[in-house]
Structure 1
């Protein structure tokens, strides 16, 4: 068999090396994953044909009402990009097949005619594109049909998708697994060596004009932000600028814990804590914790387990830190002080306090660096925290109070504390120096 050279994003090379039952890639727009997999399906067919193996390459999607909804055109373009593939395959308006009669493409929709896949003949490979909405039932029906094998090969399933829901069946089957015969990678626009200029312009526009959609559309994140999300644009910028990654604490600087207080009981508000350091003009956001309905002892235990002991951590509380809890016989401020912590309680900011916290956080966001792993739940809350809207009148009603607001309030408290002015005592000059 003659050797040919093809170009793929570097991150995909290990996916197509060696043996596997499942190969795949997930991520955002412009990553070249669809075109790359379409090309590799054709390459796989070429290799089978060169070895004298006959069969079908199935290209499937969950929804396909006609060939216009299929991967047919993508496969055609991928074949035409490679001269050796264009020479091997015959391309018609509604078909692709090898000129030697050994390999043919078939296109199927899993929602309607998945059962018909079983009767298509010898399936050598099945590629499911846009796989996010594929159901568990569809996977359970499809996978057993891929049972063909030869002396040194077996039928494989390839999967590509743009993440939307953490709970989607494709996520559980192919992303969360540790099966060594499943080779799946994340692929985004940064990984595309031929990322086109027209998409770069679209990406920049989305970042500026549709920041709440940007992480999902371009960075392959789950859809976790809403229209009107206060921090969507700022989180997208932080990721774009490399400010979300591995962040370490400065051992010579104090750790600060900024808290939004919750209560005890099943219906209580969440207790949220951001751990940060102020290092010069930089804010290092190191950790995040949230719990619902737990007593203060549980939160203190988390702090001790993470090494946030009174000798290292200073506590900042909102104004209600001076209010007695329904269960505790003392205020939260007193309880933390009794545990040995130095506590600062930020005074009530009065009317419009929530908006003041939001604006303070927005001003400081360019100076913030986030630990990617430890702050992930907190950043999810920030991405969701959004304005409540009166849809009939099209006006904003202030921050929506939901699951995300407690983490966001603690985050805003951190910004307010950072911007708090230093108090100076005025001392008039000596009488001899007064000027009339």
Structure 2
């Protein structure tokens, strides 16, 4: 029997060996994961056609407005890179199929065409490339369409957030039939010299983006984000790590209030201590649609009890909730907390918070693991822009704005510590010494 040699990175060999329901790879640019999966899909198509099987290989992405947005060109290039493989395929401008016609590639976007995928018969293989933004709803609808006993799902992506549906399904899963690996530029034996120059340039000129682009790290800062440079500096200066609370000092809780109901804005909270001129950022909490009692329960679980912790609210914390005839301020006071409401700064309040945060960032030390979700919000908080006129329209109101607003509230409320002790105060003496 004739054999053929297929070149793929060594790190991907265990992914394609043996049986599996899911095969996948995640990582940064230049890893050859996309080209390798495209090539291996063609190998599978060839094997199935030789075995007399009929069906389709579905290539999907979350967003695909046309074939220009698909994996079509990548598949063509992968097949043409292997002369023996190229001999078994018919490649047209808008299609790829085996010459016998038994196996054909189809392309689909999951954001618009997910329901139509249900009607596609005999999906032998589904490969989802650029899978990071695929929603949980899309995965839930897509996976049951793979009805053949040995049909498989292949997934490739560049990670952005730990909260993504793709991360939770395929990186956090412990299923032995999931063969998923991390692969980056150093794992590619044919890493091009041009990409090496690009990599070094990004490492030098865009250190805030480098880990995500090249090393498969999560996207901690976004281009144009207000606090991108500040977060990068904090990491480089070692101010993100293990930070302990001082048990003798008050924990200050700074809140951006949300509301009740599934469509309410997020309730976000930062727990910090002011130790001298150092701001110790200890913890972060965020929840959507939960009652105030849930937030208070979390505070108590963390040891942020009345008497040990104080709460600062934005100006709307003094107004009544739309569902319940009570304000956050009064409810938290009833729970025993010392509460301060920060007055409305008026027009430009958002930018005032941003500038206050930028000014105080060099004093901030972040407790790494508990504050990671909050730092993700800070890293994504950015300006909304008019694409036509290319002008700024102020901060974008999205998932990142609630944690960022709470952080900004902390910076607005921050009080500069006194530079020296007050030695002019009165001293009371007793016969046995100082009272």
TM, length-normalised to structure 2: 0.62
Whether 2:412 is the aligned partner of 1:420: answer no
Whether 2:91 is the aligned partner of 1:94: answer yes
Q: The residue matched to 2:146 in structure 1 has which SS?
A: helix
Q: Kindly report which structure 2 residues correspond to 1:215-254, keeping only aligned pairs within 5 A, or say none.
A: 219=216, 229-232=225-228, 234-235=230-231, 247=242, 249-250=244-245, 254=249
Q: Deviations over 1:84-115 (max 9, x none)?
A: xx6787588839999xx99x985332469979
Residue segments in structure 2 that go unaligned for 5+ positions in a row: 425-435
CA–CA distance in 1 between the matches of 2:337 and 2:164? 45
Query: Shift of residue 304 of structure 1?
Result: 0.8
Q: Kindly report which structure 2 residues correspond to 1:144-183, keeping only aligned pairs within 5 A, or say none.
A: 144=147, 146-147=148-149, 154=150, 156-162=152-158, 174=170, 178-183=174-179
Note closer, same or farther for the CA distance 1:269–1:251 as it changes in structure 2 (3 Å cut): same
> Which residue pairs with 1:259 in the alignment?
254
Note closer, same or farther for the CA distance 1:360–1:400 as it changes in structure 2 (3 Å cut): same
Matched-pair contact (CA < 8 Å) for 1:29–1:188 = yes
Matched-pair contact (CA < 8 Å) for 1:262–1:292 = no
CA–CA distance in 2 between the matches of 1:284 and 1:425? 22
Note closer, same or farther for the CA distance 1:18–1:366 as it changes in structure 2 (3 Å cut): farther
Matched-pair contact (CA < 8 Å) for 2:252–2:309 = yes
CA–CA distance in 2 between the matches of 1:40 and 1:32? 12
> Which residue pairs with 1:317 in the alignment?
312
CA–CA distance in 2 between the matches of 1:368 and 1:285? 7
CA–CA distance in 2 between the matches of 1:161 and 1:330? 42
Matched-pair contact (CA < 8 Å) for 1:30–1:218 = no
Q: Kindly report which structure 2 residues correspond to 1:244-323, keeping only aligned pairs within 5 A, or say none.
A: 247=242, 249-250=244-245, 254=249, 256-260=251-255, 262=257, 271-277=267-273, 284-291=280-287, 297-310=293-306, 313-315=308-310, 317=312, 320=315
The correspondence for 2:142, drawn from 108, 115, 139, is 139
Q: Deviations over 1:290-317 (max 9, x none)?
A: 3567675543322111222356x44352
CA–CA distance in 1 between the matches of 2:153 and 2:176? 14
Whether 2:5 is the aligned partner of 1:8: answer no
> Which residue pairs with 2:37 in the alignment?
37
CA–CA distance in 2 between the matches of 1:156 and 1:265? 41
Q: The residue matched to 2:271 in structure 1 has which SS?
A: strand
Q: Kindly report which structure 2 residues correspond to 1:301-380, keeping only aligned pairs within 5 A, or say none.
A: 301-310=297-306, 313-315=308-310, 317=312, 320=315, 335=333, 339=336, 352-365=348-361, 368=364, 370=366, 374-380=370-376
CA–CA distance in 2 between the matches of 1:179 and 1:264? 37
CA–CA distance in 1 between the matches of 2:187 and 2:366? 22
CA–CA distance in 2 between the matches of 1:425 and 1:281? 14
Query: Shift of residue 117 of structure 1?
Result: 8.1
Matched-pair contact (CA < 8 Å) for 2:55–2:121 = no
> Which residue pairs with 1:23 in the alignment?
23
Matched-pair contact (CA < 8 Å) for 2:383–2:392 = yes
Query: Shift of residue 235 of structure 1?
Result: 4.9
Whether 2:185 is the aligned partner of 1:184: answer no
> Which residue pairs with 2:427 in the alignment?
none
Q: The residue matched to 2:37 in structure 1 has which SS?
A: helix
The number of residues matched between the two structures is: 399
Query: Shift of residue 140 of structure 1?
Result: 5.4
CA–CA distance in 1 between the matches of 2:41 and 2:265? 51
Matched-pair contact (CA < 8 Å) for 2:286–2:403 = yes
> Which residue pairs with 1:197 in the alignment?
196
Matched-pair contact (CA < 8 Å) for 2:22–2:178 = yes
CA–CA distance in 1 between the matches of 2:297 and 2:213? 35
CA–CA distance in 2 between the matches of 1:190 and 1:279? 43
Query: Shift of residue 23 of structure 1?
Result: 0.7
- Greater alpha carbon shift after TM alignment, 263-272 vs 296-305: 263-272
TM, length-normalised to structure 1: 0.61
> Which residue pairs with 1:431 in the alignment?
none
Note closer, same or farther for the CA distance 1:292–1:420 as it changes in structure 2 (3 Å cut): farther
Note closer, same or farther for the CA distance 1:161–1:284 as it changes in structure 2 (3 Å cut): same
Note closer, same or farther for the CA distance 1:109–1:320 as it changes in structure 2 (3 Å cut): closer
Query: Shift of residue 288 of structure 1?
Result: 1.7
CA RMSD of aligned residues (A): 5.9
